Amino acid sequence: MKRFEQTWRWYGPNDPVSLQDIRQAGATGVVTALHQIPHGEVWPVSAILERKEIIEAAGLTWSVVESVPVHEAIKTRRSDATNYVDNYKKTLENLASCGVYVITYNFMPVLDWTRTELGLELPNGAKALYFNWTDLAVFDIYILNRKGAVDDYSQEVVTEAKIRFEKYSEAELEDLTRVILMGIPSEKDISIADLKDSLKVYQEIGLEGLLSNLLWFLGEIKDVCESNGIQMALHPDDPPYPILGLPRIAGNKEDYLKIINGVDRPFNGICFCSGSLGAGVDNDVVEIAAAVKHRVHFAHFRNVKKDRMGNFFEADHLDGDVNMPAVLRIFIEENQKRIKPIPFRPDHGHQMLDDLNKVTNPGYSAIGRLRGLAELRGLELGLITLM
């Protein structure tokens, strides 16, 4: 039976995890992006080829772009949005001309991801990324001072947030702010005032407006994608529910079906992230996989553990609330229908062993992902043996 393509995210030449490390881990494909190019600018062919040559010289393949950022002007459909769409289309053409066809992106307003702690210590001493509603409420109500924020949380969370805010030191509050603001993709430092301005814009756009803007964007790039063989893979919202009053449009099965059917063409697909979707208290990740499998162009496999309030940490890949064997079985069956195998990567990983003493990108240390890739590879092979 056909196996998945095993890939690994790499942040480029400055990533502390090297291409040699990736090859030793057993991955054959690299997932990367030209992070040095400001959002909204065209990726030149020369820069794409330079990155591709570095990857291929290491004996690997550039399999997926993650990500070509969608400029805020497009998400908000600002008056100058068409200029940024034209740049996006040119970037897609340039990538295709260099033989790179799978493009991951997201349409999350302002924040690409949100956590409240980057190093939750687990019982075995490893560290994981963590999201806690009470800490988010501390930031939202007392640091951001967002109008009406208190109404977006349960009374239990509001009460605990007040206690926690009064207990936290200035340094702890500053660290919480730093961690949350890390989720804003920007070439410059973002202030609380900047965040407040962005929130106001999206309050006016709302949920339906943001969905409409996404479908407009997909309609604008459709011809370029189809004529160049580009597959667009939309990453789910992370976490998959509204935060800080921001609308979220890609957090569950119904959301994804609206998007798929809204521009019902094969190029319009999904980056299936089992961890992001698994953080949703009401999400059945196996059910979502079965419903959208035909449009999955790329997959992130990771796991989470949630408590009764919806707080979650990123668990071992095979030891969380997501039924990973059932998810993989669905995609193994789907993979047999594909001309090219579905690429996946172990998403995030615990900071553990020697990596505890290293500075790495949050969630992207080497050893935790190495363990995740090994576990997923073994699970896939075991399931195939039984099928």
Residue 333 CA from chain centroid, whole number: 24
pLDDT at 377 (0 to 100): 98
Catalytic residues: 235, 273, 300, 347-348, 364
pLDDT at 194 (0 to 100): 85
Pairing of strands 127-131, 117-121: antiparallel
Residue (of 377, 288, 282) closest to 330 by Cα position: 288
User: If pLDDT is split at 50, 70 and 90, which confidence band does 187 have?
Assistant: low
pLDDT at 42 (0 to 100): 98
**Could you tell me the CA-to-CA distances from 19 to 179, 199, 369 in Å, in that order?**
27, 38, 14
Residue (of 234, 266, 269, 263) closest to 248 by Cα position: 234
Residue (of 181, 218, 267) closest to 77 by Cα position: 218
Summarised one tens digit per residue, pLDDT across range 200-222 is: 999 999 999 999 999 999 999 99
Quote the DSSP letter at residue 102.
E
Where residue 354 falls (left for φ over 0; alpha for ψ -120 to 50; beta otherwise) is alpha
User: If pLDDT is split at 50, 70 and 90, which confidence band does 359 have?
Assistant: very high
Summarised one tens digit per residue, pLDDT across range 19-72 is: 999 999 999 999 999 999 999 999 999 999 999 999 999 999 999 999 999 999
Where residue 110 falls (left for φ over 0; alpha for ψ -120 to 50; beta otherwise) is left
Separation CA 178–CA 68 (nearest Å): 24
pLDDT at 218 (0 to 100): 98
Quote the DSSP letter at residue 268.
E
* The domain made up of 5-386 is a member of CATH 3.40.50.1100: no
User: If pLDDT is split at 50, 70 and 90, which confidence band does 109 have?
Assistant: very high
Separation CA 369–CA 381 (nearest Å): 18
User: If pLDDT is split at 50, 70 and 90, which confidence band does 125 have?
Assistant: very high
Average of per-residue pLDDT values in the chain: 96
Residues across the chain: 387
Write the CB contacts of 177 (distance below 8 Å, at least 6 apart in sequence). Answer: 139, 143, 192
Structure pTM? 0.96
Summarised one tens digit per residue, pLDDT across range 135-148 is: 999 999 999 999 99
Q: Could you tell me the sign of the dihedral formed by the alpha carbons of 309, 310, 313, 315, in that order?
A: positive
